[in-house]
Structure 1
Amino acid sequence: MATPLSTPGPTLGVVGGGQLGRMLAEAAGPLGVELVVLDPTPDCPAAPVCRDQIVGEFDDADAVRELAERADFLTFEIELADPDLLDRVREETGVPVHPSPDTLRTIQDKLVQKDALAEVGVPVPEYRAVDDADELRDALDELGTPAMVKAREGGYDGRGNAPIESPDDAEAVLDEIGGAAMVEAFVDYERELSVIGVKGDDEVATFPAGENVHREEILRETIVPARADEAVRQRAHEVATDVLELMDGRGVYGIELFQGPDDEILVNEIAPRPHNSGHWTIEGAVASQFEQHVRAVTGRPLGSTAQRSPTVMTNLLGDVEETQPAQLRGVDEVLGTPRAGLHWYGKRDVRPLRKMGHVTLTGDDGSSGTSDEGASVDDLLARARELRDAATFVDES
């Protein structure tokens, strides 16, 4: 017979203490779950809102072992966690790790990730492994140009990705990638979508599909519901559910998708953790992706993934030309706007295009006088952009 759950609950150890760790801690508190985070940056963004921080590198065996000794469950908020080390610590301490280190190992290598998806029939863009310029040119003969060359490991927020327009650029692009690579066929997509999925002990759930707007390979906005036909959103849900079945271990998964030609849904990439495109759920859903992750990895029942109202999330990125101390100006309009939420990530320095926070704007659940849900979302998006653009890190005094 399972031990009845109680509150206060367990301690959750998190490898990584950035903005995702910060928002995990904010969501864990009301559940009676305390967080201890491991991060190499002293006084990391999560530190002010969690129980404690262990200062150490993500692959520091002693630090990860200490984290496990102080926690009842382990998870991670960054793919730079070491799956082999997490496996060893799990075996040594008996502390469960979710999602599974095997899942992290699969996702860390984009080629291995794509192979795993393709093997079970999950739709993905055509792709090839490339070890040198000759192989890249051969692959482009099959896939055509333009195409996208991706570092197999370590890419994040556009880093490690490089478009290629001609086989003549093969050497230069691989030099830019700087390591093992793969190439994907260009997808002439209608829009980029994402589904935040969550796996519990014996249940799987998904949030409504969101539409993502990227520029310079960095997520700028997420619009929910996505401005796509219901059939497209349903297909995105079905593909995301197939992805979740492949993943091993409890927790939240960010599943990035393309709505391609003829409304085909293709999986772009997967994150085995809460995802930037799921930040809208804090105000826009019954239980946020962060609450769901805490619930899932600690073995608690999942909350509702139902959407409360149309919602737009827009990132606050560094608009400076060089690194400087972070002070966000012009937040008055955000704070004075009904249904707007400001989220500050607690980073001490701002640099160009660094994610520093986000603004969420929610609608009124269809009762605003407009019968067109799409138009209502468009209005929200326009207003959210105004709020974002009013805020700046540039001192104009």
Structure 2
Amino acid sequence: MSITLPGPTLGVVGGGQLGRMLAEAASPLGVDVVVLDPTPECPASGVARDQIVADFDDPDGIRELAARVDALTFEIELADPEVLAAAGAEHDVPVQPDPGTLETIQDKLVQTEALADAGIPVPEFAAVATADGLERVVEEFDGVMLKARRGGYDGRGNLPVREPEQAADALAEVGGDAMAERFVDFEREIAVMGLKGADGATRTYPVTETVHREEILRESVAPARADDDVIARAEAVAADVLDFLDGRGVYGIELFETREGDVLVNEIAPRPHNSGHWTIEGTRTSQFENHVRAVLGWPLGPTDLVAPAVTANVLGDTDESRSATLHGVETVLDAPDADLHWYGKDDARPLRKMGHLTLTDATADLEPPARDALLSRARELRDRVTFREA
């Protein structure tokens, strides 16, 4: 392949923070980005060359996007795989990852069944469509995590159900048709950002530990504070997942480490993922740059660790929606080993992801206590910023 600059134009369905960071990573490569998003002046619009204002599954909008770009990708699973495939074929524009992979992943039950059929370890699960059916599964599994089959995002659409009498209300809350998963007694949650490039080339970033509260990712620790054998199992499972999936790009592979040291797949995202934001400072080539490279069929960049890193999400900490003004930013900027990322959202809502900060320490050893200290400092810095009025 012969690559010249200025480079091609990449179309991205979705213009949230992921689209913004994709555009930031594409720019130094000479790649322009056009995003499609229903929100006027979406977060990515301040960085991308242009925005098409349309719904994620709007056929006319997707066709317009395809007509203006050299390759198509997406940063949100709400994109319509059939519409993407048709627009790509009409304008002879590649769509990556493969729309068929997006279709499989969009439905959590279909995704989990496909993984299980491929021999990839997943938690015990069952399809549920009625309150009576859910009651039986709750009794059999002694409690479940109920997941909406479609549309869940950032913890939305997931609901713990511990007693059979909660079944009817829970099923109504997630919208009916759902998947029930046996609770996993996990030691920690971990993730692997996997990467597929041209000719099926695959790479993985170091295994990351993810810390959630209220179903929202709060911090990521890289490398994960797990035993070497668990790390090896996670890498092996991630390799199997990458073999299973079709299409170039970055995949966020969320995993459970059980108390017994086994590794199970929780969910897969066919795009860059919050669990991999630390790669911007912590590796030579970020997940965002590598997604751009992979989608375009360019050579992949190295995924090796440059320094231990911890990312802390900056979430909306107000009781109600308000104009987004972050106070205390100077405390982060004063820290010499901290990097701040602002997502450009106009309104701060409770627990909405508004930005993140990453701490790195190239002098730290790879023993867990060093990462404990880095995590503590990241939390301390993050807790000094607020959307509440000073």
Instruction: Kindly indicate whether residue 241 of structure 2 is the aligned counterpart of residue 235 of structure 1.
Output: no
Shift of 1:372: 6.2
Shift of 1:137: 2.0
Q: Is the 8 A contact 1:363 1:376 kept in 2?
A: no
Q: CA RMSD in A?
A: 1.0
Which of residues 125, 150, 155 is equivalent to 1:153? Answer: 150
2:206 is matched with which residue? 208
Structure 1 unaligned spans of 5+: none
Shift of 1:8: 1.4
Instruction: Kindly indicate whether residue 174 of structure 2 is the aligned counterpart of residue 180 of structure 1.
Output: no
Which of residues 73, 90, 93 is equivalent to 2:91? Answer: 93
Q: Is the 8 A contact 1:346 1:356 kept in 2?
A: yes
Shift of 1:139: 2.1
| Alignment: residue pair count | 389
- Assess, with a 3 A threshold, how the Cα gap between structure 1 residues 372 and 273 changes in structure 2: closer, same or farther: closer
CA deviations over 1:43-75 (Å, ceiling 9, x no partner): 110011111111111111111111001100000
Q: For residue 283 of structure 1, give the secondary structure of its aligned residue in structure 2.
A: helix
Letter in 2 for 1:43: E
- Assess, with a 3 A threshold, how the Cα gap between structure 1 residues 68 and 372 changes in structure 2: closer, same or farther: closer
2:123 is matched with which residue? 125
Letter in 1 for 2:34: V
1:379 is matched with which residue? 373
Shift of 1:258: 0.1
Letter in 2 for 1:373: E
CA deviations over 1:113-141 (Å, ceiling 9, x no partner): 00110001000000000110111122234
Greater shift after overlay, 250-259 or 43-52? Answer: 43-52
State, as a whole percentage, how many aligned pairs show the same letter: 62
Q: For residue 138 of structure 1, give the secondary structure of its aligned residue in structure 2.
A: helix
Q: Is the 8 A contact 2:187 2:258 kept in 1?
A: yes
**1:66-85 equivalences in 2 (<5 Å):** 66-85=64-83
1:388 is matched with which residue? 382
Structure 2 unaligned spans of 5+: none
2:32 is matched with which residue? 34
Letter in 2 for 1:173: A
**1:305-324 equivalences in 2 (<5 Å):** 305-324=303-322
CA deviations over 1:231-289 (Å, ceiling 9, x no partner): 11111111011001111100000000000131000000000000001000000011000
Q: Is the 8 A contact 1:149 1:181 kept in 2?
A: yes
Q: Which runs of 4+ in 1 moved over 3 A?
A: none
CA deviations over 1:129-180 (Å, ceiling 9, x no partner): 01101111222343x2221111000011111111011112111111111121
1:250 is matched with which residue? 248
Q: For residue 228 of structure 1, give the secondary structure of its aligned residue in structure 2.
A: coil
TM-score when normalising by structure 1 = 0.97
Which of residues 91, 104, 113 is equivalent to 2:102? Answer: 104
2:7 is matched with which residue? 9
